Structure 1
Amino acid sequence: MMITRGRQLSVATLIFVASMFALSYFKDIPNVFSRLSSEKDRQKVLIILTQTRCGSSFTGEVFAATNNSTYLYEPLYPFGFDCTPGISKNRKLRLLKQLLSCNFTNLDEEYKYGFSVSGWKDGASCRKDGFCFTGASVGLQDSYRKSCKRLKPNGNCGYPMRDEILGNVCQNSSPIIIKTTRVCSVEDLEDIYRHLKRMEKNTYVLHLVRDLRSIASSRMKLEGKSKIKKVLGEIRNQYCPRQNANIEYLDSVDQGNTVQSSIVAEGRYMRIRYEDFAINTIASANKVFQFINLPLPSEVTRNIRNHLHPNITLLKERVKKGGEGSKQAAKVLQSFNNPFGSVRDPSKIVEQWRGLLPFEAVKSIQAECGDVLKKLGYKLFESEEGMKDLSMRSY
């Protein structure tokens, strides 16, 4: 078959275009891999957003066991729980943005302001140490000392912590993990998320929730049975509205009725129930690590087992004997016996509220917050008999 000159030109043109496309494609492959490598190597930030008595201390410490992580436990403590829009809330969120940017300057000034607006009186240790809850921020003290000795070999590495050393520890860590009950909503984190994205940090929000009836039972154990009315007021006026506001915001995002959420749209939001995390801790932790694109570290698995199944007899013997490991054993025992501690078997307390909370209190919570409970997948009970029938799960 004879090919005309015109067809020869067309074929030649096609071959030329295809060659240029192939050249461009294969030439760009190194850039593609470079971008993928850059994405993988970016510093990760995990924000655990929750409320008090939701098992967040236990959850935070699980992830804080990750090697090379920096864990910040309630760094916004001085500001209290107020969710009212205004200067205090804006300043609190600005401080969180600053800390997650590894900037620890002017902390004393911010803490002083936070305590002045919240009215909390127990701020001496925060300002003395230079950072709130240095002991509860697992691993922070050790990382600080190592970094301080390296950067300031002849300097003082005690308290108060130096902001430049804390910044160095933070900058050389991944992931940075923060557990906070002082941020009121996912929406409050949107600006912080966009800021950290511009800094090329991969940021994720883990939203930890818990059955409001279980929270009420936990609060009642702390306050005493005589304070049941106070506890129910807290559930009605604080816990329930916050959970509902987050549900409505996320529903609105899903339905396209509000400003697009960068956190949700980019797959950086995950909600987890405390009950699921407590019953299947290792499996749940694995899901969270998949969420932040990391494999489940072996040190985290070991930490989970130590938290869930502590050998109390062996720990007591180790403390009595003294020597290596005795201080850590004492710390575990102290946490085990502390209502704010994180060492215990959570699976034994997930449904404990059903035998402790009066049914009248349960009815009150369900009447006020039934929609929230149902949207989070919790079962409502119509009778005391049903509530106490543990053959039927409540979640």
Structure 2
Amino acid sequence: MRTTTLVVVCGSFLAFILFWIQKEFTTTPNMTKTVVPVAEQKDLELKTNSHSAHETALKNIIKPSSTSKTGMKPPKLVIILAQTRSGSSFLGEIFNQHNDVEYFYEPLYPFGECPRTESRDLIDYFYSVLQYDFKATRDIYKKAFSISQRIDNQCRATGVCFSACDKCAAFIYRDAHLCRPTQTNGCQVEDFLNGVSEHAKIVKLLAFKTCYLCDPKWIEPILKNPAYDVKIVHLVRDPRAIIKSKISHAHTPATIDINEVRKMTTTTCQHVETMTKYVDANLAHDENRYFRIRHEDFSLDTIAWTKKIYDFVGLQMTTQIQNWIISATSAKNPKNLSDKNKFGTKRNSAEVVVSWRKLLLFEQIEVVQDNCQYYMMSSNYRAFKDDITVRNLDEPSF
């Protein structure tokens, strides 16, 4: 009896052991389990959800559509990407002077540099424009200014930045014959913006000139959306010329401290290289949507390059514009005009191209060349190794 009981007990115990082993192997095949601390799990979930939400938001802001909410096809939009002191105002004038263009000068100014506001605000601005809804831009600008803290230049008041200056939006008074909302006897802002929206429907294209978009990735949903006809005209300029122009604002090359030049150069080169690397990787292969123009080429043969740009965007050269170009680039313009009017749009073109080679110290040139290597290589600018070669204007720099 005792023997039988012992056998039953042992058998039951052995069966329990076998059952436990089988269960453990079945539920944990690898026999090991990585335990992630709760805090790390929450952090990982937060990052994953935040990234997914951001990507989803960007994708959902602009949904592919062949028509705007007005029932019309969205307007063709040309974005002139540039860097400050790169000659962008001059290039912008070939759009501003054209009667078939609604041209906007620095419409992204309220967002700050590089930009400080969320990408959603930028996308919302472009979305409003592509829907012919300029009335919506005022509220977007108000939010942007509250974040960037920039000085308001009529953007918030009228919904169109720099609308009072001749080089900024000539269509307002020349073609659309809109009144000035800022005058005491002018029209209401709502009527003004309605007029801008209606005029946008009859021109061939809208053109934005901006130096305040250092990373085109922020507007990627616009650029990569096949429902929108968006073209990029990318203006590049020799960074040594850009730095020379920036120095001239408050100094001369002979008096500015080299550390200040380094600081200025680092910021400038980071901006232009971020922009250039993005377009090289994402846009440069698409000849229908991307056109790169060097300031030097444009300055030395403005009429020929204007025709090329017009062909790219779908505009016709006119006698009026040819005459303006001849006047604006004439050698009769004083050589120091750019010093008298740093934001003007008339230049002695040949002088502008070589000016930096005469004025910058070689130590300053080396700083720029060291910091802007990718940008210079991508746009085929030549780096100099000695001061003598720099001063020899028979030696090409591009």
Question: Structure 1 residue 301: deviation in Å?
Answer: 1.4
- For residue 123 of structure 1, what is the aligned residue in structure 2? 152
Q: What's the TM-score once normalised by structure 1's chain length?
A: 0.71
Which one of the candidate residues 383, 386, 389 is aligned to 1:383? Answer: 386
- For residue 282 of structure 1, what is the aligned residue in structure 2? 303
For residues 58-90 of structure 1, what are the alpha-carbon distances to aligned partners after superposition, in whole Å with 9 as ceiling and x for unaligned? 000022212221110001111221346xx5343
- For residue 237 of structure 2, what is the aligned residue in structure 1? 210
Q: How many residues align?
A: 316
2:173 is the counterpart of 1:146: no
Residues 1-395 of structure 1: matches in 2 within 5 Å? 43-83=75-115, 87-120=117-150, 122-123=151-152, 125-134=154-163, 135=165, 136-142=167-173, 146=177, 156-157=186-187, 162-195=192-225, 197-198=226-227, 202-225=229-252, 226-228=255-257, 229-237=259-267, 239-253=268-282, 264-265=285-286, 267-309=288-330, 337-395=340-398
Letter in 2 for 1:280: D
Q: Which runs of 4+ in 1 moved over 4 A?
A: 158-161, 310-313
Separation (CA, whole Å) in 2 of partners of 1:56 and 1:82? 17
Q: What's the TM-score once normalised by structure 2's chain length?
A: 0.71
CA contact (8 A) 1:335 1:341 kept: yes
Task: Name the CA shift for 1:335/1:143 in 2 (closer, same or farther; >3 Å).
Answer: farther
Separation (CA, whole Å) in 1 of partners of 2:249 and 2:186? 40
3-state DSSP of counterpart to 1:379? coil
3-state DSSP of counterpart to 1:206? strand
3-state DSSP of counterpart to 1:162? helix
Tell which structure's C-alpha radius of gyration is larger: 2
Task: Name the CA shift for 1:289/1:124 in 2 (closer, same or farther; >3 Å).
Answer: closer
Task: Name the CA shift for 1:264/1:96 in 2 (closer, same or farther; >3 Å).
Answer: farther
Query: Greater share of helix residues, 1 or 2?
Result: 1
Letter in 1 for 2:160: F
Separation (CA, whole Å) in 2 of partners of 1:124 and 1:308? 29
Task: Name the CA shift for 1:266/1:340 in 2 (closer, same or farther; >3 Å).
Answer: closer
Task: Name the CA shift for 1:265/1:102 in 2 (closer, same or farther; >3 Å).
Answer: same
- For residue 22 of structure 1, what is the aligned residue in structure 2? none
Letter in 2 for 1:127: R
Structure 2: unaligned runs, 5 residues or longer: 1-72
Task: Name the CA shift for 1:381/1:221 in 2 (closer, same or farther; >3 Å).
Answer: same
3-state DSSP of counterpart to 1:190? helix
Letter in 2 for 1:391: D
Structure 1: unaligned runs, 5 residues or longer: 1-40, 150-154, 254-260, 314-333
Separation (CA, whole Å) in 1 of partners of 2:249 and 2:374? 27
- For residue 37 of structure 1, what is the aligned residue in structure 2? none
Separation (CA, whole Å) in 1 of partners of 2:322 and 2:315? 14
Letter in 2 for 1:359: F
Separation (CA, whole Å) in 2 of partners of 1:97 and 1:336? 38
Letter in 2 for 1:114: A
Which segment drifts farther, 339-348 or 383-392?
339-348
Separation (CA, whole Å) in 1 of partners of 2:193 and 2:389? 55
CA contact (8 A) 1:49 1:207 kept: yes
CA contact (8 A) 2:80 2:233 kept: yes
CA contact (8 A) 2:85 2:245 kept: yes
Separation (CA, whole Å) in 1 of partners of 2:187 and 2:109? 24
Question: Structure 1 residue 48: deviation in Å?
Answer: 0.5
